Structure 1
């Protein structure tokens, strides 16, 4: 499902985002295991709090990384994939 600018993504119950020093990156923990996230995925999920809209995420990340072309499309694509993997839910 493609999120709209007003969609509010949240990390699904049972999942927890944290920085894992042994991995040197953010990871998404869940009862059956762990997903090691790349830097971009970690930056996006760090802002997914169940309160910010997709538009808020795009604004914040665009300000943080102004030299990244097509960042909005990348964020939306990641959210679609994360939703498809059942890491996040839309509220």
Structure 2
């Protein structure tokens, strides 16, 4: 006989996972705002900047330019573990 699936439990697990992913995304966006120094700007300025950026991003050439700049910025800072590992090594000397 087939095992009965608990659809309610599966849906709840998926909903919980989606909630965690959304919270993680919000946390990462906040960290990006701080890392770029945009946290020093007023909320209205950041909102206007993002809205205009979304409109300008419809042009592929602009997106590619921003992507290259973003990759350069993130490469300088390091990503996740690499940055922490670098700091630990320099403090150990």
Given the two structures, how large is their TM-score scaled by the length of structure 1? 0.28
Given the two structures, how large is their TM-score scaled by the length of structure 2? 0.28
Greater fraction strand: 1
**Structure with the larger RCO, 1 or 2 (CA within 8 Å, 6+ apart):** 1
Greater fraction helix: 2
